[in-house]
Copies of this chain bind each other. A is one copy, B any other.
Amino acid sequence: MSLPHAILTALLEKPSSGLELTRRFDRSIGYFWSATHQQIYRELGKLEQAGHIRALPAQAPARGQKKEYEVLPAGRAELAAWVRRSEDPKPIRDALLLRLRAAAVVGTEGFGDELRRHLALHRAQLAEYLAMEERQFPPERDSEADRLRHLVLRGGIELERFWTAWLTEALAEFDRRDC
């Protein structure tokens, strides 16, 4: 039940249309909760029906027309309740670790390249987050909300650091074997 809450958070930060939300999910929010436009439109419909958000008036409700939403008090209350609710961490599901384990059984041929490819992707992601950090969190921006958002971004950064470190170690292991 996280997507509707991700959308409520995004809309509280700034009222938006479905496509704008999609783009924001591709950027800032997307680094810890991704969603496609199809999901977002479906969820916006549900949230509107539940009375958690509403379309800003003075918008033609026609098909190809932009439709902006804002959060209603009920939506904010629901989000606050969700934040206070306690939820266990979900067990990891990582296909790359799984594939490495499978490779231990059926052979590692060609797997080094895949590890190198992932390493490059994670390095790029790390660089992007670091650039974001510099842009969005200069030392003088230090309000309460900023510090919390910064903490979230540092989570993303440290996660990418973990991956680059682990992949580097894995590749060293691979290269040692192949000599």
A133: Cβ under 8 A from any B Cβ: no
- The CA of A34 and the CA of B164, in the complex, are separated in Å by 24
With both chains docked as a complex, state the minimum distance between the C-beta of A169 and any C-beta of chain B, in angstroms.
7
- The CA of A104 and the CA of B121, in the complex, are separated in Å by 29
With both chains docked as a complex, state the minimum distance between the C-beta of A57 and any C-beta of chain B, in angstroms.
24
A91: Cβ under 8 A from any B Cβ: yes
- The CA of A13 and the CA of B101, in the complex, are separated in Å by 10
Q: A84-B111, A97-B152, A97-B156 are in contact. Are A89 and B106 (CB under 8 A)?
A: no
- The CA of A106 and the CA of B93, in the complex, are separated in Å by 30
Query: Which residues of chain B are near A154, meaning CB under 8 Å?
Result: 166, 169
A56: Cβ under 8 A from any B Cβ: no
With both chains docked as a complex, state the minimum distance between the C-beta of A48 and any C-beta of chain B, in angstroms.
19
Of A4-12, A15-23, A59-67, the segment with at least 4 beta carbons within 8 Å of chain B is: A4-12
On whether the beta carbons of B169 and A6 are closer than 8 Å, the reply is no
On whether the beta carbons of A101 and B152 are closer than 8 Å, the reply is yes
Query: Which residues of chain B are near A98, meaning CB under 8 Å?
Result: 2, 5-6, 9, 29, 32-33
On whether the beta carbons of B104 and A82 are closer than 8 Å, the reply is no
Give A74-104 as 1s and 0s: 1 = Cβ < 8 Å from B's Cβ atoms. Answer: 0010011011101111111111111111111
Q: Which residues of A from 14 to 43 have beta carbons under 8 Å from B? A: 29-34
- The CA of A117 and the CA of B84, in the complex, are separated in Å by 13
Q: Can you pick out 13 interface pairs between chain A and chain B where the beta carbons lie within 8 Å of each other?
A: A2-B95, A8-B102, A31-B91, A31-B92, A32-B94, A33-B93, A79-B106, A83-B99, A83-B103, A84-B111, A89-B96, A97-B155, A105-B145
